[in-house]
């Protein structure tokens, strides 16, 4: 996400960090060496506001969305977001709220610039059912048994922001992105601060 440190430097960083140990393991020294390579929190915030977050690293955005979703769930309603189907594919995937290829009459030019940003992304176990449908269609989709599987079904907690929306505009993408970013930072900042 921040490309800091670059993954091609990780071996070098770990080698340098462990060389400081001189055959004696000291967790504090090791952590201090590794902390030198952590990106500044401002870089993390910038990266979360990126217009190309999904394009930059779809696996990471999936992880972030799953992490956020799990924070809203209790022990009684936990879901295995890492589950794999019989074909070896992940059941839960990243879905674009505003479609990547909308119909001509539903195209909002200003939404295009935030298409792959955090505020326009969510999780779905029914990606193929939602595909390139409009926001209103995605919001109300039912499966073959009539079960509500749309974005407004209430099954995915990070979609609660969508519940009172009739349309999906740039301002909503930006506002939701800001909310998700702030929620993520609220959870990860204490962990990050412990490291620094």
Give the range of the structural domain holding residue 170, as residue numbers without chain letter. Answer: 41-195
Query: Tokens 């295995």, residue?
Result: 80
**Same domain, yes or no: 118 and 176:** yes
- For residues 15 and 60, membership in a common domain is answered with no
- Cα angle 64-49-11, degrees, rounded to a multiple of 5: 60
Cβ–Cβ under 8 Å, residues 133 and 97:
no
What's the pTM value of the predicted model, to 2 decimals? 0.79
State the Cα–Cα distance between residues 66 and 11, nearest whole angstrom.
Answer: 28
User: Which residues are bridge partners to 43 per DSSP?
Assistant: none
Contacts (Cβ under 8 Å, ≥6 apart) of 113: 51, 170
Q: Are residues 25 and 86 in the same domain?
A: no
Q: Residue 117: which of 172, 73, 77 has the closest Cα? A: 172
In tens, the pLDDT along 27-77 reads 777 677 667 766 667 777 788 888 888 998 899 899 999 999 999 999 899
| 50-59 pLDDT tens trace | 888 899 889 9
Residues 181 and 155 in one domain: yes
47 and 93 share a domain?
Answer: yes
Q: Phi and psi of 3, rounded to 5°?
A: 60, 30
Q: E strand or H helix at 123, and its extent?
A: strand 121-124
28 & 105 share domain: no
Q: What is the count of structural domains for the chain?
A: 2
Does residue 87 sit in the same domain as residue 28?
Answer: no
């Amino acid at each position: 996400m921040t490309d800091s440190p670059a993954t091609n430097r990780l071996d070098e960083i770990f080698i340098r960090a462990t060389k400081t140990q001189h055959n004696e393991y000291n967790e504090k020294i090791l952590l201090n060496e590794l902390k030198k390579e952590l990106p500044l929190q401002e870089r993390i915030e910038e990266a979360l506001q990126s217009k190309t977050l999904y394009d930059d690293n779809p696996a990471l955005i999936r992880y972030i969305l799953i992490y956020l979703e799990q924070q809203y769930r209790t022990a009684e309603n936990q879901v295995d977001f890492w589950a794999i189907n019989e074909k070896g594919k992940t059941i839960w995937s990243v879905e674009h709220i505003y479609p990547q290829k909308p119909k001509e009459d539903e195209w909002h030019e200003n939404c295009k610039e935030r298409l792959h940003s955090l505020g326009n992304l969510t999780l779905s176990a029914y990606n193929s059912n939602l595909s390139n449908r409009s926001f209103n269609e995605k919001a109300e989709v039912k499966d073959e048994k009539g079960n509500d599987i749309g974005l407004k079904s209430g099954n995915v907690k990070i979609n609660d922001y969508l519940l009172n929306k009739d349309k999906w505009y740039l301002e909503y993408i930006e506002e939701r992105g800001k909310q998700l970013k702030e929620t993520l930072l609220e959870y990860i900042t204490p962990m990050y601060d412990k490291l620094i």
